[in-house]
């Protein structure tokens, strides 16, 4: 079996303090948690990180592990000395943890992975779920009630699933993909250990008018040809209610106008980006057709002039 360098797994020096080990573990656990990580090897890395932390955060286990010496390198075969007495003097109890590598199990006994009963307090896992809200709710904030189903852990077998309801406060100005952390609302710990955290990932449902872009929102605004040519003042919808927008003379389709601070709230708030879209009136009546003929005669306008045709 291979020697595993737990210090290298957590990215800390051999002489790292307990606080440095704790910070490194929390940072890596957040990055590779299978429920939220996009990394392809997240589950494997998460198990390795937990294994390393389980040893290095406990002074006795760390001392026993350090007794292997600093000259061991990953990939070398490890053969414990006869009697294994050098490692037993640290009074390490192999039942203090489970799911360790074969390497570590060979040092401290085969109780690892053999279904030994868990006796230490262990923090529950963090959990992550998606919370779908509409854009108006993201703008004004509010309270949502969510229902969670989970199994309560036992020493040998999980207990029946239980349902619970949480009232979640949604802060005004949340954006697509933003996470809301609910401390202690994740998976329960083992043997009275603290519960993990619950992360709610915000997902904005499609809106009939607006498209979110971070804290900005976009709106396509239809305008008539004469409004584009002559300029106009148009009423424009925003998340906070309609406002007036000045359309400058000579506007073109695709032109962008900005309504400062009319996006999602924040510090600073987002803006509303208005994209102009010229709409041609239908020529369904004789009067409309005559109006278009008159425009064609008097304006002498060639929209393809820049193409050289």
Closest C-alpha to 125, from 58, 35, 175, 186:
186
Domains 6-108 and 127-204 belong to one CATH topology? no
The pLDDT assigned to 253 comes to 96
The pLDDT assigned to 115 comes to 42
pLDDT in tens, the chain (309 residues): 466 889 999 999 988 999 999 999 989 988 888 777 888 888 889 889 988 998 898 888 888 788 765 444 443 444 444 444 444 333 334 344 444 555 555 555 443 444 444 456 788 888 899 999 999 999 999 999 988 876 555 444 445 556 788 899 999 999 999 999 999 888 888 877 888 899 999 999 999 999 999 999 999 999 999 999 999 999 999 999 999 999 999 999 999 999 999 999 999 999 999 999 999 999 999 999 999 999 999 988 888 888 987
Domain ranges, ordered by start, for the chain = 6-108, 127-204, 210-299
CATH topology of domain 127-204: HSP40/DNAj peptide-binding domain (2.60.260)
CATH topology of domain 6-108: Helix Hairpins (1.10.287)
Give domain 210-299's CATH number out of 1.10.10.60, 3.40.50.2300, 2.40.128.520, 2.60.260.20: 2.60.260.20
Q: What is the pTM of this model?
A: 0.57
Contact predicate 169/143, CB 8 Å: yes
């Amino acid at each position: 079996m291979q020697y595993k360098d737990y210090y290298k797994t957590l990215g800390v020096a051999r002489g790292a303090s307990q606080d440095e080990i704790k910070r490194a573990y929390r940072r890596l656990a957040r990055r590779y948690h299978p429920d939220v990580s996009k990394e392809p090897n997240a589950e494997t890395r998460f198990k390795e990180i937990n294994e390393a932390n389980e040893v290095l955060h406990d002074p006795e286990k760390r001392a026993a592990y350090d007794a292997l010496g600093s000259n061991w390198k990953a990939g070398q075969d490890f053969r414990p000395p006869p009697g294994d007495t050098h490692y037993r003097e640290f009074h390490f109890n192999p039942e203090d943890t489970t799911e360790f590598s074969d390497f570590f199990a060979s040092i401290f006994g085969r109780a690892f992975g053999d279904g030994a009963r868990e006796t230490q307090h262990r923090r529950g896992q963090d959990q992550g779920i998606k919370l779908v809200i509409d854009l108006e709710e993201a703008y004004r904030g509010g309270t949502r009630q969510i229902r969670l189903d989970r199994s309560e852990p036992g020493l040998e077998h999980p207990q029946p699933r239980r349902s619970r309801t949480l009232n979640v406060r949604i802060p005004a100005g949340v954006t697509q993909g933003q996470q809301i952390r609910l401390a202690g609302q994740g998976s329960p710990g083992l043997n009275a250990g603290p519960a993990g955290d619950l992360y709610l990932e915000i997902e904005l449902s499609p809106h009939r008018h607006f498209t979110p872009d971070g804290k900005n929102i976009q709106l396509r605004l239809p305008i008539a040809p004469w409004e584009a040519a002559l300029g106009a003042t148009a009423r424009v919808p925003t998340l906070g209610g309609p406002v007036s927008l000045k359309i400058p003379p000579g506007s073109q389709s695709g032109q962008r106008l900005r309504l400062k601070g009319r996006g999602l709230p924040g510090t600073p708030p987002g803006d509303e980006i208005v994209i102009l879209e010229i709409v041609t009136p239908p020529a369904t009546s004789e009067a409309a057709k005559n109006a278009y003929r008159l425009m064609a005669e008097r304006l002498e306008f060639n929209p393809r002039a820049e193409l050289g045709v």
